[in-house]
Amino acid sequence: MVSGSASPFNPAEESGSGLWGRRQATPAFVLAGWVGYYLLALGCIMLSRQPQEISSLWLPDALAVLWLLMLPPAQRRWPLLGLVLVIPAANLSYGDPWRLAVSFIPANLSQIALAAWLLERHVQPRRALTEPAHLLRSMALGGAVPAAFGGGAACLIVPTLAGTPLGPSLGNLWWSWVVSSFFGAVTLLPLGLWVLAHGSPLSRLLRWRSLGALLLVALACWFLPQWVSTPFLLMMVLLGAVALNGGFLLAAVAAVLASVLLNAEYALGRMLLQQTRTIDAPMAVTAMLVTVIPTVLIGAVRERLQQQLRQVQAGEALLRSMADATPVLLCLVDRQERIVQLNPAGARLLGASRPEELIGQSLAERVPLQAARDGQGVLTTLRSPTGSVRQLMLHRARVAGGPLGGAVYSLMDVTDQLEAQQLREQTARAEARSQAKSALLSHMSHELRTPLNAVLGFAQLLQTELGRAPLPRQHERLQLLLQSGWHLLGMIDELLDLSRIEAGQLALDCRTVALAPLLGEAVAMVQADAARRHIAIETPPALAGHHVHADPLRLRQVLINLLSNAVKYNREGGRVRIEVAAEAGHWTLSVADTGLGISLA
């Protein structure tokens, strides 16, 4: 009968936890729908049918439509077909002939099916609750169009099966059918749409304020028509006030209550208007519709305004939460630069514990604002409560319109960023200097290596020319010259290793080294300076056979540096003493001199 997984009643589109549009067709739920239709139809027939007229308020079809929409489309066939037995049962219980009771089946059944199909395809319950135009569309598709179709079917079928048009003419039958069915749909559809969108309304109705408003509506609907000849205007004002104060749900329930009671008053002939002049059912229903329909429209308008208000409040709460969470000062000032609103981070930056302490004070007295321009960032300085100077980036934006005018200021602490930038610049400059130093050292080492190689080459050539038996003094001096040259060449090579040291890639050539020859070479390198200043160098005896695991070049360099300092900073005729001690498998070499030394202070 009805299908369409992408319909407005799809739970994925409605996304409401209270949506009742997809209940399972359990036996209890189906039976409850049939029983509800039967009782409501019987009540409408017994209460308001006048001789040879259809009821002025027909609610069962609207109830059946909403009941079907609560079921999945694939499970609506058998509940709908079950109405074939339920529809005539109410008429038979009232005492109508079976031919008349059966003649209503096609008209009511087709009307229910058409209304369910149109609402399923073209109505969104949540929009109908908040948009008056969509609510009127729902009433037209769920009430006017199906009622006109059902009235046409009744005009074709009822006279044929029942043998009577149920009135003066077929036109009267069609008009009475349309009026009663449309009145029933308009009465019950708003409440049904709310239930489809949100679920059971009992928790919201069982409140003292709601119950009191409904009791007032019930008393007014029951007594005003008996005391006032024109009660509909007063009822419209009362129902409008209930809708304005209670919202859409209370307006929908009040509309159902007013429609039922006013219809009962009319059916029982208790209206004062009926006693003063003749009023037919269509005229009475028209007056009731004019009274009831504005009620739900006002409720929809109020619901829409409340929804927009909640959205605005949620947006304001979100913006306030974002402002409270940001570490940047955000401040709204008036035309006199007085603080109107301030976030917690801004209060702390200005030396207050809470924003309320600074409301109404001048922001210019705390922050230099003279250079601030709209849309441009300005760097300013602020002294914090602890005395430290902070660098701040100030932005200003003028408030467009509004009663306060003024502007919005944002102030961000950029001290750490500026310090980090300075540190990066200093690091870059240091790296540049280091690279320049490494390049210089590399160039110098190559420039020094060339003449030194020439010195070593001529020394070796001189040693060869002197023969195999040079004089002892010549041999000693040549050996000293060669040792110094080779050591100086090793020192020049060390210059090339500075870049490796800075990169952490310096490699050591560690091996077993005899301690006595290495110490002798170091002493020989400084012996000439020591002899010139009459400084005696004492070396430890009995070092023959002692070995250490070290890089010979760097160990010799350390010993030469220590001995050179000991000679350089010693006194004339002083003494330098070298001591070697064994400690737990290690050798400790120490150099002591008789110079002034360095003061402890």
Instruction: Identify the top-confidence range among 404-408, 428-432, 455-459, 497-501.
Output: 428-432
Residue 479 Cα distances to 460, 470, 472, 489, 525, angstroms: 10, 12, 11, 15, 11
> Could you give the domains of the chain?
21-199 (1.10.1760), 201-318 (no CATH), 326-413 (3.30.450.20), 428-505 (1.10.287), 508-601 (3.30.565.10)
Residue 144, pLDDT score? 92
Query: Is pLDDT of 19 > 70?
Result: no
Q: What does the pLDDT read at residue 227?
A: 87
Residue scoring higher pLDDT (460 or 364): 364
Q: Does the pLDDT at position 35 exceed 90?
A: yes
Q: What percent of the chain has pLDDT over 90?
A: 18
- Residue 321 pLDDT > 90: no
141 — pLDDT class (breaks 50, 70, 90)? very high
Q: What was the pLDDT predicted at 9?
A: 53
Out of 381-395, 528-542, 586-600, which region has the weakest mean confidence (pLDDT)? 381-395
Q: What is the pLDDT of residue 7?
A: 47
Q: What is the pLDDT of residue 573?
A: 87
- The pairing of strands 389-398 and 378-383 is antiparallel
pLDDT > 70: what percent of the chain?
79
Q: How confident is the model at residue 39 (pLDDT cuts 50, 70, 90)?
A: very high
d(CA 250, CA 201): 9
Torsion angle of alpha carbons 298, 299, 305, 311, nearest 10°? -160
* Angle at the Cα of 510 from the Cα atoms of 509 and 514, rounded to 5 degrees: 120
Instruction: Determine the distance from the C-alpha atom of residue 45 to the mean position of all C-alpha atoms in its chain, rounded to a whole number.
Output: 57
Single out the residue of 120, 126, 102 nearest to residue 65, CA to CA: 120
Contact partners, residue 406, CB within 8 Å, separation at least 6: 332, 333, 334, 335, 337, 340, 398, 399
- Give residue-wise pLDDT tens across range 190-236: 999 999 888 888 888 888 999 999 999 999 988 888 888 778 888 88
- Specify the range with the lowest mean pLDDT, choosing from 216-225, 265-274, 343-352, 475-484: 475-484
pLDDT band (50, 70, 90) for residue 171:
confident
Structure tokens belonging to residue 165: 């048009």
pLDDT digits (tens, 9 = 90+) for 226-240: 888 778 888 889 999
Q: Among 212-216, 219-223, 326-330, 481-485, which stretch is predicted with the lowest mean pLDDT? A: 481-485
Instruction: Decide if 494 contacts 557 (C-beta within 8 A).
Output: yes
* Alpha carbons 89 and 39: distance in angstroms, whole number: 10
What was the pLDDT predicted at 12? 38
Distance, in Å, from the CA atom of 253 to the CA atom of 296, rounded to the nearest integer, reads 9
pLDDT of residue 327: 79
Mean pLDDT of the chain: 80
Please write the tens of the pLDDT for every residue from 331-389.
888 888 888 888 888 888 777 888 888 888 888 777 776 665 655 667 777 666 666 67
Confidence of residue 3 (pLDDT cuts 50, 70, 90): very low
Asked whether the predicted pLDDT for residue 451 surpasses 80, the reply is: no
3-state secondary structure of 376: strand
Contact status, residue 554 vs residue 592, Cβ threshold 8 Å: no
Which has the minimum average pLDDT: 42-46, 51-55, 414-418, 512-516?
A: 51-55
**Tokens at 97, concatenated:** 């002939």
For residue 501, the model assigns a pLDDT of 63
The predicted model gives 101-109 an average pLDDT of: 92
- 230-236, Cβ contacts within 8 angstroms, sequence gap of 24 or more: 230/273, 231/271, 231/272, 231/273, 232/287, 232/288, 232/290, 232/291, 235/262, 235/291, 236/290, 236/291, 236/294, 236/295
Specify the DSSP element, H or E, that contains 48. Answer: helix 27-48
Predicted confidence band of residue 161 (pLDDT cuts 50, 70, 90): confident
Look at 258 and 47; give whichever has higher pLDDT.
258
Give the model confidence (pLDDT) of 546-575 as tens digits: 788 888 878 888 888 888 888 888 888 889
Q: Which two tokens stand for residue 79?
A: 């509940």
Q: What is the Cα–Cα distance from 7 to 29, expressed in whole angstroms?
A: 23
367-381 CB burial, b ≥16 within 10 A, e <16: bebeebeeeeeeebe
Of the pLDDT bands very low, low, confident and very high (cuts 50, 70, 90), residue 601 is low
